[in-house]
Chain A
Amino acid sequence: MSATGFVDITKALKQLLTQAPALAGGNVERGRFRPLQQGQAAAIVIAPAMAARQPGATSGPQHWITTVVLELQVRAAAGEAGEDAMDALLAHVYARLPQLAALVPSVSDPLADVRIEWEPSEADTSLLAARLVFNVQHRTAEAALVAG
């Protein structure tokens, strides 16, 4: 069975973020259960958060809005502020997201709505997480979750 349109999106995002030059040193994962390891300076975790099918005709292509979360993590070098290290990663990630539509033909709008939340460590200013939450508009086939 083909992957659903949701996994098409998260796989394509991984491809976008790891294509040369790979962002976050190539530490880009779809889902993760452990903290950022010592010695890793940055990482990106891709995870779908929610999908809502849009009201409309039940026959023909189905239109969806899927919320995707990219969790960005940076560990700044000694003497560098976490906010500065995050700034560069955030800018690079954001600049690649519009290319999602070219990679996944069923995506009509890769950045329908965007929100960024910064979550600094309370104990260590060299550690900073930021969550990039955005909505992707895409289609699936009639009565199916595979891309349409």
Chain B
Amino acid sequence: MAAGETAADLAALMEFEGVDGVLAGKPVRGLFDEPVTVDPAGAYGFAAAQPQLRLPSAGLPDLLVDAALELQLQGRLRRFIVRESLPDGTGLTLLKLGDAP
């Protein structure tokens, strides 16, 4: 999140750019992003997509690792699992995602 951005700013942004999904059986709405980064493992590294969802922390369970997340992205359903849940202390949580088995 950019410096100074708040949950209120995010709420406004989500009106236009948010995606709908189901997290651990409950409906959620958040901002999805999937940057490609290089994981440095080994001598050469791996280019890898890093899907992630930013959403309000309110109402989220404490333990989200391995929870199932379904998102409607560009007209199709994608299934993920939560790899990491990172509450940022300002009312927002960043979920780092992996493809579901």
Contact = CB atoms under 8 A, between A and B. Distances in A.
A124 to B, nearest CB: 6
Nearest to A39: B47
Interface residues of A, number: 25
B86 interface: no
A75 B96 CA distance: 18
A128 interface: yes
Contacts of A4: none
Contact of A127 (B36, B43, B46, B100): B46
A32 B43 CA distance: 10
Contacts of B39: 35, 121, 123-124, 127
Given A36-B45, A79-B100, A126-B98, 13 more contacts: A32-B44, A35-B39, A45-B43, A71-B43, A71-B44, A78-B101, A119-B41, A124-B39, A124-B48, A124-B83, A127-B39, A130-B42, A131-B42
Contacts of A120: 41
Contact of B42 (A34, A38, A71, A124): A71
Interface of A: 32, 34-38, 45, 71, 73, 75, 78-80, 119-124, 126-131
Contact of B41 (A37, A79, A121): A121
Contacts of A78: 98-101
